Amino acid sequence: MSNTTENNKRIAKNTLLLYFRMLFTMAVSLYTSRVVLNTLGVEDFGIYNVVGGVVAMFGFLNSAMSSSTQRYITFELGKNNFDQLKKVFSTSVYIHAFISIVILILAETIGLWFLYNKMTIPMERMDAALWVYQGAIASTIVLIMSVPYNATIIAHEKMSAFAYISVLEVILKLLIVYLLLIGDFDKLKLYAALMFGIQVIIRLIYGRYCKKNFPETKLQQTKDWKQFKEMLEFAGWNLWGNCAAIAFTQGVNILLNLFFGPAVNAARGVAVQVQNAVNQFSLNFQTALNPQITKSYATGDYAYMHKLIFRSSKFTFFLLLFLSLPIQLETETILTIWLKNVPEHTVNFLRLILCVTLIDATANPLMISAAATGKVKLYQSVIGGILLAILPISYVALKLGGNPESVFIVHLSVCAIAFITRLFIIRPMIQLNLSNYFKEVILRCFAVTFVSLFLPTGAIYLTDDSLVGFVIVCLACMFSVSIAAYFLGFEKDEKQFINKKILSVINKIKR
């Protein structure tokens, strides 16, 4: 059996495992989000989102190093260099320990000052906000120290670990919801403390799994300063890109707080919850596929690497369109059914943020391929600079009297520019044919989107606002995207693969 066939089977198996994980976690997450919002109230829910965002701003240090760790562990595994793999893992643990200390110092000094002097939080809730803040710091440190272990699991493509441990995590979050409902304690303080407890439990489980299954995760002393320097240099350029990511997520969240208060943060928090749920579908597929992109570069198989990039970008777009189109057309109905109490601006926030998600998720394979090369200086400096502009432009828009939606319009516009720029930067790095990418990915995505709109648009005009009408529109969206993707989006061999899988399922059912 060829390596390509084995890789495809591994990708398919890992994708299915991650989808099992995602479907379960998303179903519970949608329920728990509703209960938490109603239990905490709009104001406390907004406080939890924005205060946790202050700590997340310091997480840009960790995000940069996470990309470096993932890349180097996967690269060395692809080259079957076990001795170097052990050095990379131990080096990454020491670096993450140092990052934890730096973030702790920054959060307890600059972050505390910002919380007390700049945030718009009612005085009577400041004590609870401090609980949330300290819990977020502790949770962040736990997550930072988990990065090398999680990166090792992904590099080995053992996605079953994520699937099973995530099920436990979700069950624990369900328990939190129950305790919130019965607990005779400040709900916001209790929620912050319990969420931290879950992070500690999950971290210990991941650590135990890695030590049992992967010998390279046994920590050893290392003085390989060349490796240390190389990983830090890679992370340093990623740091610039992650500063931009923090700016247009948590930075914009804080801007909304400064201009409009916690209620608007609650609206953004709800929109981001739905965005994350939808985005999980693409992340699961890409998490299963990304190690193969890095490993194919490590072995010099550019043709296979390009095929993976094309398919990852294209399939991700179709999958997200299948999920997001019903939400885009029936946003208000879905939010009302889900939450009952829908914060103002949530409908518009969600529609705009889903458009951003479509662009970013489609571009993600390009980011992975850039990281695979290890030469990210030009990529991160240019793309990071473009994305960093979201925050100042949003500030100007709000200062000139713009409404809360204006920051998401800015975000969407800048992301579209960044996507085009990525293509021209990536082209020489991995010998990518832009003409092929345009024909195989961009044109097919546009064609599928255009054709998919006809049937659901007609359904909207022909049905009323009843529950039956809502179901008809959603089914029309899913049917039209599926048919358009099959006939306009997939190549001949991809159609054959899908037909084979469908026949296999039908035969199993008949038996």
Asked whether 147 and 69 are in contact (CB, 8 A), the reply is yes
Cβ within 8 Å of residue 289, ≥6 positions away: 11, 15, 308, 311, 312, 365
What per-residue string of b and e applies to 160-172 under the rule 16 or more CB within 10 Å gives b?
Answer: ebbbebbeebbee
Do 89 and 216 meet the contact criterion of CB atoms below 8 Å apart?
A: yes
3-state class of 238 per DSSP? helix
pTM of the full predicted structure?
0.72
**Taking Cα atoms as reference points, which of 140, 204, 198 lies closest to residue 170?**
198
Specify the pLDDT at position 1. Answer: 42
User: 3-state DSSP call for residue 303?
Assistant: helix
Predicted pLDDT at 509: 63
Note the Cα 207 to chain centre separation in Å.
Answer: 22
Q: Give the other-Cβ count within 10 Å of 22's Cβ.
A: 21
Query: Interior CA angle at 219 toward 214 and 220, to 5°?
Result: 125
Residue 300, pLDDT score: 86
List, run by run, the mean pLDDT of 10-residue segments along the chain (511 residues). 61 67 71 76 75 63 67 81 83 84 86 81 82 84 85 80 80 82 77 85 88 84 74 71 73 87 85 80 75 85 90 89 91 85 88 93 90 84 89 93 93 94 93 93 95 93 85 92 91 79 68 62
pLDDT at 6: 67
Domain ranges of the chain: 3-452
36: amino acid identity, one letter = V
